[in-house]
Structure formats: C-alpha cells, structure tokens
Amino acid sequence: MKVLGLIASPRSLGNSEICVKEILRNLPQEWEKEIINISRLHIEPCKACYSCLSAGKKCIIHDDLERFLEKIQWADRVVLAGPVYFLGEQTSVKLIKDRLLTILNEGEAFFNNKPCVIAIPHGIENWEGYGREAMLNFAGFLGLKVLGCRIINKHLPGQAAEEDSLAKLRALAGALAENKELPPEKHDIIYCPVCQSSLLQIHSDGNWHCVMCGASGQLTADNGKLAMGGLDLGVPRYSKEGMEHHGQALLGVNKEFREKRREIITYLKPYKD
Ligand SMILES: Cc1cc2nc3c(=O)[nH]c(=O)nc-3n(C[C@H](O)[C@H](O)[C@H](O)COP(=O)(O)O)c2cc1C
C-alpha cells in the first residue's frame, strides 16, 4: 500500500507536519510512505484560458502541478493536513485547487475513491471558519474519498504533539489503515450526509442545500431534533460523473465565448484604457 502525506503549511515542524507524520507513524510499517509539503511547490495561479478542457489537452503552465498530480495517482491512500488561515485554507491548497480544471476530463485517472483522512490545525477556538470545508472540497475535487476529518485546535508550532491531538490523529490513522469511516467530530452539528460539510443553506420552505457538493433535501423534525431527510444527490460534484458534467459545461462556455467573441469585443472598447 502506498500512502502520500500532504502538508500545506510553510512552518517547519509546525502542526500540519506533526499531524501528517503522526498519522503516517501509526499506519502499518510495511506500507510505503512519502511526504510532500505542497506549500513549497512552485504552483502558478490558473490563467483561466480553458485550454486544458479539450480532450487530450493538458494545462499549458509547466510547473510542479504535474509532479503533484502524478503523486496523487501513485498513492493508494492520502493524508492531508493544512492550517486555517483567515478562516479558510492555506494558499497552496487554493492554488492547486484552482488548477484542477486540468483533471476534469481525466475522470478515470482520478475519480477512483482513494481513501483519505484530513487534519486541520487552527489557533483560535471557534475560528475554524470554512477551513474544514475548504479541505474537504480539496480532497473532493482530487477524487478522494474522505474517511474522517479532525480539527486540531492548537496555535503554537508543534503543539499538535500534545496528547489530546495525538489521540485524534491516531483515530484518523486507524480509519485509514482499516479503510473505515470515522463519524464526524461534533455530534450536535448537522452535516451534509454526502460530503460532511457544515456549510448548508436552509431555505424558508424547509429545504436544505449543500453549497459544496450540491446535494439537497428536506429538514425534518423528530422529537424536537432537526434531521436531514429526502436526499436528492443531483449530479454529485465530487464524482467522476460530476467532474465530467462540470468539464462539459465549461467546454460549452468556451464554445459560446468563441462564437460571441467579436460581439463581446465591441462592448469592451470603452474599458480598454
Ligand atoms: C496568516 C495566518 C492566518 C491565520 N488565521 C487563522 C484563523 O483564521 N483561525 C484560526 O483559528 N487560526 C488562524 N491562524 C493560526 C493557525 O491556523 C495555527 O497556528 C495553526 O496551528 C498553524 O498550523 P501550522 O503550524 O501547521 O502552520 C492563522 C495563522 C496565520 C499564520
């Protein structure tokens, strides 16, 4: 079994590094393990040229993304850890995520539900913002299946090595070793039953909508407790089918742009200077 550990923090021996290393240490010894610190890769921002969307085309930017994607394909299981920055993900996660248009038409190669676990260090209690959801989303768009996700509330570099965090990290390692899902961390929060996100839109008619994976349904009340009912998956965004659907939709946008280009240029004239 080949395991890839991804650290998304510039801090040496910081909490994300401890998280990845502790999880890897608790996996079977004979498993092959590799670690990449993605914050140290050279990744350029997406140029939004859409060149990579056509069949057989790849991203036109030649940087460390190809190497990163090869490593994702190499791995059988993935461990991901990155801190909350300004209530969201660390920059390297977003830089890579935006470049994932290039895999939309390579569903076969990526959407094979490789098991993944995620640890998210953050410093201030209740300041995790959408950091957890941003990391779930990263794993989802890489075609990974998230078995468990834990918030590590530690501020100082390396504090994730304290016993309460280690217990959470060992639970993640156990889930990955056995390929078993861990229940979400907080029992009093309603999570999306498909992607575990807590970012849900609640509509006045009692419908809920997961803004991340696109699932929807109806809120029900049972014994004074709210629950999620009537699940409608739509086209699940974090799936091979969902990625192909997204890729085809963007190809449509690209075609429309080519058709309307001359007309669009006429409106653009006043904005040129
Ligand atoms: C630029 C920056 C922004 C941060 N923003 C948040 C935040 O919004 N919420 C929070 O709880 N902690 C925040 N933190 C604290 C880190 O998430 C925390 O120290 C974490 O343990 C760092 O993990 P690392 O050692 O792996 O880098 C921030 C830290 C930095 C450097």
Which CATH number covers residue 157? 3.40.50.360
In a domain, residue 221? The reply is: no
- 254, with CB counted inside 10 A (0-12, 13-18, 19+), is middle
Who's near 30: CB < 8 A, 6+ residues apart?
none
- Residue 170's SS3 state is helix
The answer to whether residue 160 is domain-embedded is yes
**pLDDT confidence of residue 111:** 87
Residue 75 domain-assigned (yes or no): yes
From first CA to last CA, the distance across the chain in angstroms is 57
Interatomic CA distance for residues 256 and 273, integer angstroms: 26
Phi, psi of 241 (to 5 degrees): -60, -45
Distance 257 CA to ligand 1 centre (A): 40
The residue written with tokens 């650290």 in the block is: 7
Q: What is the mean pLDDT of each run of 10 residues along the chain (273 residues)?
A: 98 97 98 98 96 89 97 98 98 98 86 95 97 97 96 96 98 98 91 94 95 94 87 88 91 92 91 89
What is the extent of the structural domain holding 62?
A: 2-185
- Backbone torsions φ then ψ of 137, nearest 5 degrees: -65, -40
Binding site membership of 82 for ligand 1 (Cβ less than 6 Å): no
| Closest to 210 measured CA to CA, from 192, 196, 226 | 192
- How many structural domains comprise the chain? 1
Q: Which protein residue has the closest C-alpha to ligand 1 atom 31?
A: 85
Q: Give the tokens for residue 255.
A: 């075609």
- Count other Cβ atoms within 10 Å, centred on residue 42: 9
Q: Ligand 1 within 6 A of 100 CB?
A: no
**Nearest Cα to Cα of residue 89 among 30, 138, 40, 29:** 138
Q: Is residue 246 part of a domain?
A: no
Token pair for residue 147?
A: 């078995």
In a domain, 247, yes or no: no
| 85 Cα–ligand 1 center, Å | 5
Ligand 1 near 121 CB (within 6 A): yes
pTM over 0.75: yes
pLDDT given at position 224: 87
Contact yes or no for 152/15 (Cβ under 8 A): yes
39 belongs to a structural domain: yes
- Determine phi and psi for 196, rounding to 5 degrees: 70, 10
- The verdict on the CB of residue 7 being under 6 Å from ligand 1 is no
CA-to-CA dists, residue 167 to 40, 73, 150, 151, angstroms: 28, 29, 11, 12
Ligand 1 neighbour 156 (Cβ under 6 A): no
Strands 144-153 and 114-122 turn out to be parallel
In the numeric block, which tokens belong to residue 155?
């501020």
Residue 196 counted as domain residue: no
How much is the pLDDT for 95?
Answer: 98
> Please, is 92 exposed, middle or buried when counting C-beta atoms within 10 Å of its C-beta (0-12, 13-18, 19+)?
buried
Query: CB neighbours (10 Å) of residue 164?
Result: 10
Atom number, ligand 1, closest to the C-alpha of residue 9? 27
Q: For residues 175 and 186, is the Cβ–Cβ distance under 8 A?
A: no
pLDDT at 108: 79
Q: Which residues contact 9 (CB under 8 A, 6 or more apart)?
A: 15, 16, 17, 37, 39, 81, 82, 83, 90, 121
241 domain-assigned? no
The bridge status of strand 216-222 relative to strand 225-232 is: antiparallel
CA of residue 253 to ligand 1 center, whole Å:
37
Closest by CA position to 5, among listed 87, 76, 67: 76
